[in-house]
Amino acid sequence: MKKRVRLAYLVSHPIQYQAPLLRRIAQEPDIDLTVFFGSDFSVRSYQDEGFGVDVKWDVPLLDGYRHKFLPVIRDDGTQTVTTPLNYGIYSELRGRNGEPGYDLLWTHGYNMVNALHGMVAAKALGIPVLVRADMWLRDRPRSGPKLLFKSLFFQFLKHMVDGVLPAGTLNTEYWQHYLGDDVPRFLMPYAVDNNYFQRRCQEAAATREAFRRELGLDAGRPVILFASKLQQRKHCSDLVDAYVRLINRESDQPRPYLLIVGDGEERAALEEQARSRGLADVRFCGFRNQSELPRFFDLATVFVLPARHEPWGLVVNEVMNAGRAVILSDDIGCQPDLVTNGVEGYVFPVRNVNALAEALQRVLATPETATQMGQRALDRINAWSFEEDIQALRQAIAQLTRKIIA
């Protein structure tokens, strides 16, 4: 007999990347999912620090799964260690208003007061705890006292957590380092809604030429795409410098365009960088909502993310669903799992502009090169999907709750 498992998921706020996965989990007939949010700021228009503009997501964040917003102690529309801050998770996990309690608590992150509150409540009720986060060991420099505190904190966390859901290779190394082998790991790939992005990219192909004309792009010329927040650590300026070196090399190939999609604190400096170098073929397209991005993916010949200390980079997943070659720095969390140098694209040492220019030249050497790499990117991302996530969640449920689940 299959038993319906009651799964509680505790997260700070509705997140655009997570909503499709939660809808997918809710479709499982033997998993009874309820999501507990600390804040609703993301379902309203809010100021995104990274983009530097007001953001209101144009994809449904709350449809298709059961959810509740916890009573608020503190909520200033940001996400920090102490914000949002809520109460009521203990009574929810225990069961209220005649409802039974929960079999398993899954928290998004571990270093927020809300998450720790949920873990303590679950432990008091004898409910196993699962944690998912995308941290890695390539950490920024920290002082001795901070490292000591972190080590002591993880000794505490070992006693609070019954299993972790690594997002990929580097995240697995992180959990292994801090929690050892005493805490079970269930690989739950950091995935996006592959079906959605593949469908939207196919739809975009029908209006590709009209969109090209709208952006002032000549047919037959390759397109290099950057799409992310325009923050210093994303190092879009390195891409502009590499682009200059690329177009100054002698080549029989048509000169590529560079499209920069996104907004943020670095936009004015990047525009000045392009203007001072006389780069007439660079287009700044501003912030674009999630449903608009597939039109840019469809136009692209190659996608580039030259960022530093990027824990994952879900935009890479998205563009691979368009079957496009990708070039990544080696300081991006998804790289070991999604891009092998010379296969789906190229990997270059972060901040090495010459290496980035060389990678661009190799991808654009012939139209066939980029096409073949793009097909391999599509093949790889098809195996990094929500279906693997469901399998991992089922394994965790079966092991931690001892309930029979197919």
Whether residue 289 contacts residue 307, with contact meaning beta carbons closer than 8 Å, is answered with no
Domains of the chain, CATH where assigned: 5-191+385-401 (3.40.50.2000), 194-382 (3.40.50.2000)
Per the listing, tokens 């102690």 go with 73
pLDDT given at position 99 = 75
* Distance (Å) of CA 116 to CA 14, 108, 167: 19, 11, 20
Sheet containing 223-227: give its strands across: 282-286, 257-261, 223-227, 302-305, 325-329, 345-348
- Burial of 194 from C-beta contacts in 10 A (0-12 / 13-18 / 19+): buried
The encoded tokens of residue 185 equal 């790991």
Per the listing, tokens 């890479």 go with 316
pLDDT given at position 252 = 85
Whether residue 163 contacts residue 130, with contact meaning beta carbons closer than 8 Å, is answered with yes
The encoded tokens of residue 240 equal 């502009």
Strand partners, 69: 37
d(CA 228, CA 72): 32
Whether residue 325 contacts residue 302, with contact meaning beta carbons closer than 8 Å, is answered with yes
- The overall longest dimension of the chain from CA atoms, in Å, is 75
d(CA 275, CA 269): 10
Whether residue 55 contacts residue 41, with contact meaning beta carbons closer than 8 Å, is answered with no
Closest CA to 204 of 288, 294, 289: 294
Write the single-letter amino acid at 165.
Answer: L
pLDDT given at position 253 = 87
pLDDT given at position 55 = 63
The encoded tokens of residue 329 equal 């720095």
Per-residue pLDDT of the chain (406 residues; tens, 9 = 90+): 356 999 999 999 999 999 999 999 999 999 999 999 999 999 986 555 555 566 676 789 999 999 999 999 999 989 999 999 999 999 999 997 777 799 999 999 999 999 999 999 999 999 999 999 999 998 666 777 888 888 899 999 999 999 999 999 999 999 999 999 999 999 999 999 999 999 999 999 999 999 999 999 999 999 999 999 999 999 999 999 999 999 999 888 899 999 999 999 999 999 999 999 999 999 999 999 989 999 999 999 999 999 999 999 999 999 999 999 999 999 999 999 999 999 999 999 999 999 999 999 999 999 999 999 999 999 999 999 999 999 999 999 999 997 656 5
pTM above 0.75, yes or no: yes
pLDDT given at position 1 = 33
pLDDT given at position 151 = 87
pLDDT given at position 384 = 98
Count CB atoms within 10 A of the CB of residue 184. 16
